[in-house]
Structure 1
Amino acid sequence: MTMSPNPSSLSPAMVRRAIFSSVLGNGLEWFDFLIYAYFSKIIAQVFFPAGSGFLSLMLTLATFAIGFVVRPFGGILLGLYADRMGRSRALSLIIMSMAASTLLMGLTPGYAHIGLAAPALIVFARLLQGLSVGGQFATASAMLVEYAPPGRKMFYGSFNMTAQSFALLLSSGTGYLLTTQLTHAQLVAWGWRVPFLCGALAGPIGFYIRHRVAESPEFVELRAHEGKPPRVSLRQFLRDNGRAALCAMGVIAVGAATNYVWHSYMAVYVERQLHLPLAVALRGAFFCGVLNLFLFPLAGRLMDRYGAYRLFYPVTIAWMACAYPLFVYVVAAPSAERLFVAQVIATVFLAAMSAGHPGMLATLFPVRSRSSGVALSYNVAVTLFGGLAPFTITGFTRLTGSSLTPAFYLIFAGLFSLVLVAATRRGHRDADDRRLASPRSPAA
């Protein structure tokens, strides 16, 4: 049974265990998503055969996007569960469901063996995963921020982003080894399944660890203060937190677009637009994963010191100014060296923009509706600007014939973020006040 000690009795070991268990599921989520993107062309061959390679790829990317379309619904349901029953219980449920969907992806026979049942099962796996991970980022972010001492919430929250970096490192390294050591026939036959089967093993391990983690201190205090599970209707939530939710969507949009363009879509872009080997993109992604292991915590510390929103505006504007020249630089003379330089620059900007996302979003909402608030805003923004990015960019690139479409997409996302956050200034002012308030306040 999950332990729930008094917050003052938490040991350093318990805090470390809470951090590890909170980020494990986020890492598994990203590992699965990135592996799917890296092997999208092979998955298209196995499950979505069509007369046109473009059509087959679009069907695969559409399936990738489906998992994001249902994320807001899963986020709301699991967020409400986490706000009523506790962060630890919700995270245990989420990781087992994620592991089941990942296992299904790895075990489903191809179209040649079971016909239309094959793509149907893959779509079902993506739906299940989308519902599960809808609450993952939000609940893990709430757990981390509620364990964090005053003045270190952005730093603690940044570990949720560090988990994504580790997933990038692991998935790109796995993808590179498989694509360089196996033949194409071996990859199609069984090689692409290996990462999914290995990823599913994290489920039982994560469940065991999370089952031994104390409940969030702030949630325990809220429960002790109110005496019963809080009930928050969607109407009441929107009335009390609607402005904060819009601010959170603005915070997330540009980071989500950048993340998915440079880490998910890049696998498709490198092969179809730059005509370079997939291994070139994977090498760069692996190095960027290593780099972000250090950049995210560093950026989190800087945000705690100088203010997350004070850094948000100049970093976003600088990234918008660099996005177009960066793609022009790569497209003008495609090479492994130029792509690597661009990937590193994009990674630095991504860390500067995204390290504070967990802390920024979690501190926008009160404890009683924190998981559901972060889940709703995060998943809507990630679905629109992240999950749909590969599908949208591929379609517009085909329509316009321009290899610079991703740059315009990133500029639009940055403009959207700046306008929405600026229009909801009260939202992040409240967050700054709440972040500086005593963590002992149950309503904080």
Structure 2
Amino acid sequence: MSQPTTATRDATARAADGGNVADAARLSPAMVRRAIFASVLGNGLEWFDFLIYGYFSKTIAQVFFPADNGFLSIMLTFATFAIGFFVRPLGGILVGLYADRAGRSRALSLLIISMAASTLLMGLTPGYAHIGLAAPALVVLARLLQGLSVGGQFATASAMLVEYAPPGRKMFYGSFNMTAQSFALLLSSGAGYLLTTHLTHEQLASWGWRVPFLCGALAGPLGFYIRHRVAESPEFQQLRDHGDAPPRASIRQFFRTNGRAALCAMGVIAVGAATNYVWHSYLAVYVERQLHLPLAVALRGAFFCGALNLFLFPLSGRLADRYGAYRLFYPVTIAWMICAYPLFAYVVSAPSAERLFVAQVISTVFLAAMSGAHPGMLATLFPVRSRSSGVALSYNVAVTLFGGLAPFTITGLTRLTGSSLTPAFYLIFAGFVSLALVYGTRRGRAGADDPATARSSTA
């Protein structure tokens, strides 16, 4: 007897979750394109805000956290950056539960408005010199509001994309969620480069840094309009039509049913999150404080890497569909752990714009290879009835621990050890955690042959 094809196994898993492949086939191309665009828009806005905060962290520190000690000022800025991540798991669970009950489309419409509001608050808040302690308090509030809203953004958008995907293309469709991050990197680094090279330091501190936040907030109304016109995903609609609503379950029940899947998902995300935040959010401070190079040098490289990833992430998703996401996960992660230290040593030994650019491009290729299939991998680990909440919890815990805390942790460790190679050791540690969690769970081993296998086992 011949073995079932990937498409056959994928269709079987779809049916086991209450999905209906025929419904997906009847969707018009225009509706599919609209769903893709609506799903990734919020994720792009989320990353635009995060990256802009990282690129202008030194200026934000001067405006909102003035201190005689420059190290203390930047640490307060990074602590505020991390605060938004601590509430992400809570926001992820709340939004995820809402998306699993009310639908992906409604949840995404709610999220885009909330995210735009937090971005606008960040851009309009007066500095410490004008309103005193109220200034950093409002910045913290903006970060908390954004953390709560974006907590469910990645998970709900990933669920929407995977549930719109035809058989055998889940990883490719999910990769568009990562492409949104690349587009955000392109816009944020481009805006940062233009502002830092065309404005004086006084102009940048006075009003220049606010421009990207205010522009980012304008995407809110447009995103809400587009998302409001997107039909519910076929798989969730089928589940709702059958009256198979997700049961009200406790956290204990969730982990009893999906605990191994959640651990596997955290492992999948950990090394990618660490790499993303080290080479993007932390890079601006690292370049200026450790390498003593102009910020514009890092921004030029980031802009090119953002453009490169627009093509690499979808390619990574296609390869994962063809060869198996887990079959690629293990060798790519190990290769990145081997390369992380030499790459940083190459830059630190003789800091220059050319060496930094080479390192940025190499890290970008590895990041795309690791992360292109992440949305699809996470979404296929959980059944439709608990997909948004499951992905939200696991994704946000991993990103908080290994991504959001990365700038704060690395800055502190670098100060303590005096080593400019601290980021490399951080990435190697994250790689070990990822490999241990994924391989140590049945989900990771079962998915080594085909992503659909892991999903069908949780249906």
**Shared fold by TM > 0.5?**
yes
2:259 to 227, 236, 242: 242
Q: 9, 29, 43: which is aligned to 2:60?
A: 43
Partners of 2:120 and 2:358 in 1: CA distance: 35
- Give the Å deviation of 1:234: 2.1
Cα offsets for 1:77-112 (capped at 9, x unmatched) = 000000010000000001100000000000000000
Structure 2 counterpart of 1:144: 161
Equivalent of 2:364 in 347, 352, 362 = 347
Instruction: Compare 420-429 and 166-175 and name the one that shifted more.
Output: 420-429
Q: Tell me the SS of whatever aligns to 2:280.
A: helix
Q: Determine the structure 1 residue equivalent to 2:7.
A: none
Pairing 1:167-182 to 2, within 5 Å after superposition: 167-182=184-199
Aligned to 2:121: 104
Alpha-carbon shift at residue 7 of structure 1 (Å): 4.3
Note closer, same or farther for the CA distance 1:59–1:351 as it changes in structure 2 (3 Å cut): same
1:270-322 CA distance string (max 9 Å, x none):
00000000000000000000000000000100000000000000000000000
Structure 2 gap ranges (5+): 1-21
Matched, 1:133 2:150: yes
Q: Tell me, yes or no, if structure 1 residue 68 matches structure 2 residue 85.
A: yes
Residue 56 of structure 1: aligned partner: 73
- Could you tell me which residue of structure 1 aligns to residue 28 of structure 2? 11
Which residue of 2 is the match for residue 196 of structure 1?
213
Equivalent position to 1:364, from 375, 381, 388? 381
TM-fit CA distance, 1:43: 0.3
Question: For the Cα contact (< 8 Å) 2:99–2:156, is it kept in 1?
Answer: yes
Cα distance change of structure 1 residues 355 and 285 upon mapping to structure 2, 3 Å threshold: same
Matched, 1:27 2:44: yes
CA contact (8 A) 2:24 2:165 kept: no
- Partners of 2:451 and 2:418 in 1: how far apart? 48
Q: Alignment partner for residue 257 of structure 1, among 270, 274, 279?
A: 274
> What CA deviation, in whole Å up to 9, does each residue of 1:108-131 have, x standing for no partner?
000000000000000000000000
Shift of 1:436: 6.1
Distance 1:277 1:410 in 2: 24
Looking at structure 2, the residues matched to 309 and 272 of structure 1 have their Cα atoms a distance apart, in angstroms, of 38
* Residues 439 and 445 in structure 2, CA contact (< 8 A), matched pair in contact too: no
Supply the distance in 1 between the matched residues of 2:426 and 2:148 (Cα, whole angstroms). 26
Q: Is residue 425 from structure 1 mapped to residue 425 from structure 2 by the alignment? A: no
How many Å apart are 1:8 and its aligned residue?
4.7
Counting only pairs closer than 5 Å after superposition, residues 268-417 of structure 1 correspond to structure 2 as: 268-417=285-434
Q: What is the distance in 2 between the residues matched to 1:71 and 1:147?
A: 25
Shift of 1:227: 4.8
Query: How far off its partner does 1:427 sit?
Result: 4.8
Q: Alignment identity in percent?
A: 86
Match of 2:224 in 1: 207
Hey, what does 2:10 align to over in structure 1?
A: none
Rounded Cα–Cα distance in structure 1 between residues aligned with 2:109 and 2:427? 35
Closer, same or farther in 2 for the Cα pair 1:423/1:227, shift >3 Å? closer
Gaps of 5+ in 1: none
TM-score, normalised relative to structure 1:
0.96
User: 3-state DSSP class of the match of 1:284?
Assistant: helix
Q: Distance in 2 between matches of 1:431 and 1:150?
A: 18
The structure-2 alpha-carbon separation of the partners of 1:30 and 1:284, relative to structure 1 and needing over 3 Å to count, comes to same
- Number of aligned residue pairs: 437
Whichever residue aligns with residue 55 of structure 1, its letter is L
Structure 1 position 236, deviation (Å): 1.8
Equivalent pair of 2:239/2:245 in contact (CA under 8 Å): no
Rounded Cα–Cα distance in structure 1 between residues aligned with 2:447 and 2:250: 22
Alpha-carbon deviation of 1:231? 3.0
Per-residue CA deviation, residues 328-377 of structure 1 (Å, 9 max, x unaligned), is 00000000000000000000000000000000000000000000000000
Code of the residue aligned with 2:339 in structure 1: it is C
> What is the alpha-carbon distance in structure 2 between the residues aligned to residue 238 and residue 430 of structure 1?
19
Point out the more displaced range, 231-240 or 183-192: 231-240
Structure 2 counterpart of 1:162: 179
Deviation at 1:229, TM superposition (A): 5.5
1:51: how far off? 1.2
Name the aligned partner's letter for residue 160 of structure 1: N
Q: Which amino acid aligns with 2:407?
A: P
Equivalent residue in structure 1 for 2:249, among 209, 232, 237 = 232
Kept in 1, the 8 Å contact 2:446–2:453? The answer is no
Q: Is the 8 A contact 1:244 1:428 kept in 2?
A: no
